[in-house]
Amino acid sequence: MMSEVFPTAFLFFAGALALLALPQGRLRAGLLLAIPIAAAWQVWSLPEGGLWQVTFFGLELELMRVDRLARVFALIFTLAAFLGNLYAWHVRDAVQQVAALLYAGAAIGAVFAGDLITLFFYWEGTAIASVFLIWARRTEGAYHTGMRYLIVQIGSGVILIAGAALYYRETGSLAFETMTLGSPGTWLIFLSFGIKSAFPLLHNWLQDSYPAATVTGTVILSAFTTKLAIYALARGFAGTEILIYIGVVMTLFPIFFAEIENDLRRVLAYSLNNQLGFMVVGIGIGTEMALNGTAAHAFAHILYKALLFMSVGAVLFRTGTSKASELGGLYRTMPKTAMFCLVGAASISAFPLFSGFVTKALVLDEAASAHYTWVWAALVFASAGVLSHSGIKIPFFTFFAHDSGLRPKEAPTHMLLAMGITAALCILIGVYPAPLYAILPYPVDFHPYSGGHVVGQLQLLLFALLAFAVLMRTGIHPPEIRAVNLDTDWSYRKAGPWVLARISGLVSAIWGAVGGLFAGQIRAAIAGFYRSHGPEGRIAHIWPTGSMVLWLAILLGVTLVVVYAA
């Protein structure tokens, strides 16, 4: 064992242990903030290289492989852990606190993993730790959602280790480096990353589970799992062309679902999926600048997505609902939350001077300059979609729109503080991107505030806004009665653009049919297995002695035949 530093992940694990020794209260909440700060400082000052090796049955494991790509992800993870824990200052639930620390630690450990075995350990670690954030809601529904989430996540890990085993057979190496798709091993690893980064058709766990977690749990969940998978893809499969197409589909299809969804946290989950698409495209292009774009976008994305989840979470915390149909007009009593939400919305919509603008442009520009014209066009369209469902829908239906009559108190101070810091960072990155550009994996020579970028983006945004305004005025019959009534999503479909409704209806129908088909088959299979293997089943039946002797005779007969025939 060689060690130059204490692995950052262990810092979190030790913190989780220490946490249990402390009494519940400010001391604990304080420790929850101190650990990410210490970790961030450590990550910042780490030298590059392999810093911690362990031998594990004949294999050399590298627990701390530090390079620029790993560092930028580790940094944003510590930052996200800090903000998430600050937001959760009021939480007095040891399960959530420990889970949050272990989760962040595992995610950071995975980022520094230099080999596939270590990656696997932390990969499963994130799955197991994070499920408690869902279960912590302690409802029957949350329990089942958590189970589904866990099965998918563990499954992804099992596929990863299977892939690693095959990869080891093929290459004799377990190092986690850039791989080329082709062999079964690499395909399995790719699939495993794909599940965790919510590739289209592998994405359902995300929208299923994130809205089911606790108020604070969702904020923490949104930061790590998928971005870890993005990191893994960037590390392992940069420049794999198929990722470009997967990424494009990822940016497009969640838009339709997000448009018709009523639960605002689920809307955010869909838009998260869409944002991941931009990063996946960047990885697929695979040039240095594109990877920079992916890393930068992941960095900015974690912040503004957390900000949006925080603001909706604060509303949920105060009103007990996150349904668009039950909310509205909250700006009167939650003005600060509303303002922060607008900052988040502006960032995700990539308004100039906000963080999304300076990072998304990196990916878009690379797509354009690598001559993926239609990819670029699709991404532009997706950007407009982002604006519609995240940039407008979230703040509009929560804080404006019709007055729901709710008069909740403003969010608690620590939540405001967490949101304030996050919002400030979003704006800071947008206004002055140089520090972010400086920590990216490769040197950056990029000027987001060129005339072309700004004008192009503003055109896009303004037209999208215009379209929304027109639809709002014309799509709803009597404008003087409540502007939008979202009692059911049926009425919203009527209000929304009917094309989107048709497409999304079709997509959901297909999904429903496929899901129904499989659900039916799976249920039938389980029933069948129960009939045969259950306690009353024939196979589990304890037969009388005679039947066992019969088996013995049969087996002897077969054995004799085989022996004589051979």
Partner 1 sequence: MATEGVQHVALSLTDHLPVLVVLIPFLAAPLVVLIGRNRLAWPLAFIAAIGSFVVSAQLLMQVGDGDVLSYHLGGWAPPLGIEYRVDAANAFVLLIISAIATVLLPYTRASIRAELPERHIALFYALFLLAFSGLLGVAVTGDAFNLFVFLEISSLSTYVLIALGAYKDKRALTTAFNYLVMGTIGATFYVIGIGFLYMATGTLNMADLAERIADAQGNRTIHAGFAFVVVGIGLKVAIYPLHLWLPNAYTYAPSAVSAFLAATATKVAVYVLMRFMFSVFQPGYTYEAAILHLIILPLAILGMFAGSFIAIFQNDFKKMLAYSSIAQIGYMLLGIGLLSETGLTAAIIHLFNHAITKATLFMVVGAYVLRSGGSFYANLEGMGRIMPWTSAAAVVGGLSLIGVPGTAGFISKWILVQAALESGAWWIALLVVASSLLAVIYVWRGVEVVFLKPPQDDVDRREAPLTMIVPIWIMAAACVYFGLATDVTLSAAQAAAEGLFAGPLPLTVEH
Using the rule CB under 8 A, is 549 a contact of partner 1? yes
How many amino acids of this chain bind partner 1 (CB under 8 A)?
46
Tell me whether strands 52-56 and 59-62 are parallel, antiparallel or unpaired.
Answer: antiparallel
Using the rule CB under 8 A, is 535 a contact of partner 1? yes
Using the rule CB under 8 A, is 154 a contact of partner 1? yes
Helices (H), 210-354: 215-236, 242-260, 264-285, 288-319, 335-348
Least Å distance, CB 105 to partner 1, is 15
Of 105 and 391, nearer to partner 1 (C-beta) is 105
Closest CA to 253 of 204, 323, 186, 302: 204
Closest CA to 206 of 121, 272, 252, 110: 272
CB 395: neighbour CB atoms within 10 A? 27
Q: From CA 34, how far away is CA 505, in angstroms rounded?
A: 48
Using the rule CB under 8 A, is 14 a contact of partner 1? no
Q: Of 13-21, 450-458, 471-479, 543-551, which part binds partner 1 (CB under 8 A)?
A: 543-551
Q: From CA 22, how far away is CA 28, in angstroms rounded?
A: 6
Of 442 and 518, nearer to partner 1 (C-beta) is 518
Binding mask of the shown chain, residues 41 to 80, with x at each position contacting partner 1 by CB under 8 A = ---------------xxx----------------------
Of 374 and 564, nearer to partner 1 (C-beta) is 564
Q: Which of 24, 173, 488, 547 binds partner 1 (CB under 8 A)?
A: 547
Using the rule CB under 8 A, is 21 a contact of partner 1? no
Using the rule CB under 8 A, is 427 a contact of partner 1? no
Quick check: 392 and 465 in contact, CB under 8 A? Answer: yes
Tokens coding 402: 């019709």
- CA pseudo-torsion sign 252, 257, 262, 266: negative
Using the rule CB under 8 A, is 413 a contact of partner 1? no
Question: Which letter does DSSP use for residue 327 in this model?
Answer: -
Q: Which of 49, 184, 512, 516 binds partner 1 (CB under 8 A)?
A: 184
Q: From CA 237, how far away is CA 244, in angstroms rounded?
A: 11
Q: Which of 165, 428, 465, 503 binds partner 1 (CB under 8 A)?
A: 165
Q: Of 15-23, 444-452, 495-503, 544-552, which part binds partner 1 (CB under 8 A)?
A: 544-552
Using the rule CB under 8 A, is 409 a contact of partner 1? no
Using the rule CB under 8 A, is 555 a contact of partner 1? yes
Of 58 and 478, nearer to partner 1 (C-beta) is 58
As a whole number of Å, the end-to-end CA separation of the chain is 52
Quick check: 185 and 167 in contact, CB under 8 A? Answer: yes
Quick check: 349 and 389 in contact, CB under 8 A? Answer: no
Using the rule CB under 8 A, is 431 a contact of partner 1? no
Provide the CA 19 distance to its chain's centre, in angstroms: 26
Using the rule CB under 8 A, is 560 a contact of partner 1? yes
User: Which residues, other chains included, contact 410 with Cβ-Cβ below 8 Å and sequence gap of 6+?
Assistant: 333, 334, 335, 336, 337, 416
Q: Which of 14, 22, 162, 465 binds partner 1 (CB under 8 A)?
A: 162
Kindly list the residues in this chain that would bind partner 1 in the complex (CB under 8 A). 56-58, 117, 120-121, 124, 143, 154-155, 158, 161-162, 165-166, 168-169, 184, 529-530, 532-535, 537, 539-540, 542-543, 545, 547-549, 551-552, 554-556, 558-560, 562-566
